[in-house]
Structure 1
Amino acid sequence: MADLAAFTTATSFPLKSIATIDPGRVLIVAPHPDDETLGCGGAIALLRSHHYPVQVLVVSDGTMSHPRSRKFPAPILRQLREQETINALRILGVESENVRFLRLPDSLIENHIDLAIVQVRTYLQATVPTTIFLPWRCDPHPDHRATWQLFDRAIESLSFSPRIIEYPIWDWDPEQRGTVATTAKVIGWRLDTAEVGTLKQNAIAQYRSQTTDLINDDPEGFRLTAELLSNFAQPWELFFEEI
Structure 2
Amino acid sequence: MVSFDHRDPGTDESIWAAALAARDLVTLDLDVDRVIVVAAHPDDESLGAAGLLASATARGIRVEIVIVTDGEGSHPDSPTHSPATLALVRRREVAVAVEAVGVAGVPRFLDLPDGGTDAHRDDIAAALHEVLDRAGDDRVLVLSSWRGDGHRDHRVVGEIVEEVCAQRGVRSRAFPIWLWHWGSPDDVPWARAERLALDDAARDAKARALRAHESQLSALSAAPGDEPMIHARMHAHFTRDEEVFFAPEPAAASVGPEYFDGMYARHDDPWGFDSRWYEQRKRAVLLAALPRRRYRAVFEAGCSTGALTGELADRGDRVLAVDLSPAALERAARRLEGRANVELRVASLPADWPDGVFDLVVLSEVAYYWNDADLAAGLTAAASALEPQGHLVACHWRHPVAEYPRSGDSVHAALAAVPTLVRLVRHEEDDFVLEVYGRSGARSVAVEAGLVP
Sort the TM-score into its range (normalised by shorter chain): 0.7 to 0.9
Q: Does 1:131 align with 2:136?
A: no
Question: What CA distance in whole angstroms lies between the structure 2 residues aligned with 1:185 and 1:179?
Answer: 9
Cα deviation for residue 240 of structure 1 reads: 1.3
Which residue among 154, 169, 173 is the counterpart of 2:177?
A: 169
Question: What CA distance in whole angstroms lies between the structure 2 residues aligned with 1:226 and 1:193?
Answer: 21
Mean Cα displacement is larger for which, 64-73 or 193-202? Answer: 64-73
Larger-Rg structure: 2
Q: Secondary structure at the match of 2:38?
A: strand
- In the alignment, what sits opposite 1:233? 239
Unaligned runs of 5+ in 1: 1-5
Q: Secondary structure at the match of 2:194?
A: strand
Q: Supply the AA of the counterpart residue of 1:241.
A: A
1:65 touches 1:221 (CA, 8 Å); kept in 2? Answer: no
Change (3 A) 1:163 1:155: closer
- In the alignment, what sits opposite 2:150? 140
Q: Does 1:56 align with 2:69?
A: no
Q: Does 1:188 align with 2:204?
A: no
- In the alignment, what sits opposite 2:25? 14
Q: Secondary structure at the match of 2:225?
A: coil
Which residue among 190, 212, 230 is the counterpart of 2:218?
A: 212
Cα deviation for residue 213 of structure 1 reads: 1.7
What TM-score comes out, normalization by structure 1 length? 0.83
2:220 touches 2:227 (CA, 8 Å); kept in 1? Answer: no
How many residue pairs are counted as aligned between the two chains?
A: 230
2:194 touches 2:245 (CA, 8 Å); kept in 1? Answer: yes
Question: What CA distance in whole angstroms lies between the structure 2 residues aligned with 1:177 and 1:82?
Answer: 33
- In the alignment, what sits opposite 2:265? none
Change (3 A) 1:13 1:104: farther
Cα deviation for residue 179 of structure 1 reads: 5.5
Cα offsets for 1:22-72 (capped at 9, x unmatched) = 022110121110010111011000100111001111111100012233542
Unaligned runs of 5+ in 2: 1-14, 251-453
Question: What CA distance in whole angstroms lies between the structure 1 residues aligned with 2:211 and 2:76?
Answer: 22
- In the alignment, what sits opposite 2:270? none
Q: Supply the AA of the counterpart residue of 1:147.
A: V
What TM-score comes out, normalization by structure 2 length? 0.47
Q: Does 1:122 align with 2:130?
A: yes
Question: What CA distance in whole angstroms lies between the structure 2 residues aligned with 1:176 and 1:77?
Answer: 32
Change (3 A) 1:55 1:216: farther
- In the alignment, what sits opposite 1:3? none
Sequence identity (%): 27
Q: Secondary structure at the match of 1:51?
A: coil
Cα deviation for residue 174 of structure 1 reads: 3.1
2:165 touches 2:172 (CA, 8 Å); kept in 1? Answer: no
Question: Which aligned segments of 4 or more residues in structure 1 are displaced greater than 4 angstroms?
Answer: 175-180, 215-218
Q: Does 1:102 align with 2:107?
A: no
1:138 touches 1:145 (CA, 8 Å); kept in 2? Answer: yes
Cα deviation for residue 234 of structure 1 reads: 0.5
